Each structure stands twice: as structure tokens, then as C-alpha cells.
């Protein structure tokens, strides 16, 4: 362990080969029925073993798994004997109090983590619930899961595309125009109102738009972005606003920059290519927010507020 912590490298000196072989065999047999040839071939190509695995060794390790509490069964497929473990005997047990705490912690974390971290957390818990022998807990978790409506393969691909701002073509089920192909340059994933969105720069309207990920049917094509395409997007708008904070440092989103702060107010600049999203951000603050500049945006924003109020007069 000390050697691993020092070098962050696995070496032969660090491995208990008996235990390692048993764990590898357990993994193989819980995945699907395996023949002796399947197991022998896997052990020969494993980078840390690379040695012959005899039938006598297989019998010995099968007995080891049985002693550890596993049920090992044998079936015949295509006239070849195959071995498998039908059920993982090492399921986790949790108390009702622990279940409530885990759900509460999960809900809190999803409100405070970045989207990439939320997806990682959800993927971890999706794997974890497979080993919790409590159907009620699994159902309760899936009710609050961020990925409950999502195709996890699509979410993972979009995450990777956003990291390098890839240009993609997706098949999107629009609530207004039905299923259609949309070409866009990916920006980032967002989590709002318990839903996952992809913010992307649409190549049709040259503007940033948030696409509900659950409506993305498939990613048809992934390409690199050319300089010409990157420059075709609408220019950024920068708005400066004053926010009443009573001296506390506000939580800023991507695209926002703190310019000044005193005991009462914080002065913030928000930038983006879509005025709608800037409007939405400012409206979240209600009367605590005052737009300072630019003048034309301020006038348009005030006009929209008056129109909204007029609907109630």
C-alpha cells in the first residue's frame, strides 16, 4: 500500500494473486455463464496474470467462491459446460434511517454540484443500487434520480462533446415541430427544475439555445468545429447589474463576473449571446436586482417588465 501511495502504480509486488484471481473469476461468473475456455483465455490475456489456468485451478477457485458464500451453478450451452453465479451474495444492507439520509444527501448535492459532477454521482449511485437488497429504496432513489428520464449513453456522449465544444447533429423531438435534425455546437450541460439541458449554439439561427436532453433521440454525427463556424455565432451581449446582497458574496453562474462588492450591493457583469437567458437570470432576483447598462438593453428590459405587468392590470 505504501508503495502504491508513493508511486500511484500497480506492480506485481502489490498483488495477492490468489485473491486477485478469485475476484476476477467472481466478476466473470456474475456477468454471464462462462466455459473453461472463456476463463482460460481471459486469464492468459489479463495484464497482471498472463499465465495458464488449468481445470484443476478452476475447480479450486470455484470451491473458494462457494466457501465465501457464492452459489455457483453449471449449465450446458451449445454442448459446452458453463459456470455462473446467479446472484451476488454480497448485497448491501441499509437501515430505514440510512435510506432517508442517502436520499436527502442526494437531493442536496444535486442542487449544489456542477452538472458534470451530478452525472458522475448519479452514475455511481445507479451502480450502487444494484447491490442494495431493498426494492423500496431503489424505487425511492429512481424517483429523484437526475438521470431517471435520460438515456445515459447520450448524456455521457454530450458530456464529452461539451468538453471540446464539438459540432453535432442530433435527432430532436421538438414539442412544436416534431422530430427533426438539428445541427449545433455544444457548450455545456445545465440542470434546471429537475431536468437536464444541453446549451448549444444552433447553426441555423446563430444563437444559444437550451435543448431538453430527454427530447434528444440520438446523436447522428460528431465533428470538429471550424473557425468559420465558431465565428458565425451571434456576438456576445454584456449586461452590468447591481444586486442587493447585504455584504455576502453571491453565487455566480458561468458567464458572470463579480466587478465590485460592498456592505449592501454587488456589481456583476453577465455575458451571453442570447438575451432571453440573461433576462431569465435577472428575473430570478426580482426587486433585489437593478440593471445598470447598457442603456438599450436596460430600456428593452424595462419595456418587457411593463408589458408583463400590463397583463395583470
Q: Tell me which architecture the domain covering 237-310 has in CATH.
A: 2-Layer Sandwich (3.30)
pLDDT of 12 reads 46
146: left (phi over 0), alpha (psi -120 to 50) or beta: alpha
pLDDT band for 242, please (50, 70, 90 cuts).
very high
Question: Which pLDDT score is estimated for 10?
Answer: 47
> What architecture (CATH level 2) is domain 166-231?
Roll (2.30)
Residue 12 is classified by DSSP as G
Compute the average pLDDT of residues 214-237.
76
Name the residue with higher pLDDT: 131 or 214: 214
pLDDT at residue 205 in the model: 61
- Give 4-52 pLDDT, tens digit per residue: 444 455 454 444 667 778 888 888 888 889 998 998 888 888 877 777 7
| Per-residue confidence (pLDDT) for residue 141, from 0 to 100 | 79
pLDDT tens, 159-212?
889 888 899 999 999 888 889 898 888 988 888 777 888 988 877 666 678 888
Look-up: residue for cell 500511484? 8
Of 58-67, 100-109, 128-137, give the lowest mean pLDDT range: 128-137
Q: Is the preceding peptide bond at 40 cis, omega within 30 degrees of 0? A: no
For residue 217, pLDDT beyond 90: yes
Nearest in space to 85 (alpha carbons), one of 64, 108, 105:
64
Average pLDDT, the chain: 81
Full-model pTM: 0.53
Domain boundaries, the chain: 2-84, 96-144, 166-231, 237-310
Beta strands across the sheet bearing 237-244: 256-261, 265-272, 237-244, 289-293
- Please say if the pLDDT value at position 2 is more than 70: no
CA distance 64 to 196: 45
Residue bearing the bigger pLDDT, 113 or 62: 62
Q: Can you give the C-alpha Rg of the chain in angstroms?
A: 27
Whether 196 contacts 115, CB under 8 Å: yes
**Residue 224, C-alpha cell as written in the block:** 470538429
Residue 6's pLDDT is 46
Considering the segment(s) 2-84 as one domain, its CATH architecture is: Orthogonal Bundle (1.10)
What is d(CA 48, CA 31) in angstroms, rounded to the nearest whole number? 21
Instruction: Read off φ and ψ for residue 179, nearest 5 degrees.
Output: -75, 125
Which helix (DSSP H) or strand (DSSP E) does residue 122 occupy? Answer: helix 115-128
Q: Any idea which of 34-38, 208-212, 225-229, 308-312 has the lowest mean pLDDT?
A: 225-229
The DSSP H or E segment spanning 267 is: strand 265-272
How much of the chain exceeds pLDDT 70, in percent? 89
Amino acid at each position: 500500500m505504501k508503495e502504491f501511495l508513493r508511486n500511484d502504480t500497480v506492480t506485481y509486488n502489490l498483488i495477492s494473486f490468489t485473491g486477485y484471481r478469485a475476484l476476477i473469476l467472481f466478476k466473470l461468473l456474475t456477468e454471464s455463464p462462462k466455459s473453461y475456455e472463456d476463463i482460460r483465455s481471459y486469464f492468459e490475456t489479463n495484464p497482471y496474470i498472463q499465465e495458464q489456468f488449468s481445470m484443476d485451478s478452476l475447480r479450486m477457485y470455484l470451491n473458494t467462491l462457494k466457501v465465501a458464500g457464492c452459489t455457483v451453478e453449471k449449465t450446458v450451452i451449445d454442448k459446452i459446460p458453463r459456470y455462473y453465479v446467479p446472484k451476488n451474495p454480497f448485497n448491501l444492507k441499509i437501515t430505514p434511517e440510512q435510506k432517508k439520509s442517502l436520499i436527502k444527501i442526494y437531493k442536496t448535492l444535486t442542487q449544489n454540484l456542477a452538472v458534470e459532477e451530478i452525472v458522475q454521482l448519479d452514475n455511481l449511485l445507479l451502480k450502487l443500487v444494484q447491490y442494495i437488497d431493498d426494492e423500496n429504496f431503489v424505487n425511492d432513489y429512481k424517483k429523484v434520480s437526475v438521470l431517471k428520464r435520460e438515456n445515459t449513453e447520450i448524456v455521457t456522449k454530450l458530456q464529452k462533446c461539451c468538453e471540446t465544444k464539438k459540432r453535432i447533429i442530433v435527432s430532436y423531438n421538438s414539442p412544436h415541430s416534431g422530430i427533426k435534425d438539428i445541427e449545433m455546437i455544444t457548450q455545456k450541460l445545465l440542470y434546471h427544475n429537475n431536468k437536464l439541458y444541453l446549451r448549444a449554439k444552433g447553426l441555423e439561427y446563430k444563437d444559444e439555445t437550451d435543448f431538453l436532453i430527454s427530447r434528444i433521440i440520438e446523436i447522428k454525427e460528431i465533428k470538429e468545429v471550424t473557425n468559420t463556424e465558431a465565428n458565425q455565432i451571434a456576438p456576445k451581449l454584456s449586461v452590468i447589474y447591481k444586486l442587493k446582497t447585504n455584504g455576502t458574496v453571491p453565487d455566480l453562474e458561468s458567464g458572470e463576473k463579480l466587478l465590485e462588492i460592498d456592505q449592501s450591493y454587488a456589481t456583476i457583469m453577465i455575458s451571453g449571446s442570447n438575451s432571453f437567458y440573461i433576462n431569465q437570470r435577472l428575473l430570478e432576483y426580482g426587486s433585489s436586482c437593478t440593471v445598470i447598462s447598457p442603456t438599450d438593453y436596460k430600456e428593452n428590459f424595462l419595456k418587457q417588465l411593463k408589458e408583463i405587468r400590463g397583463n395583470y392590470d
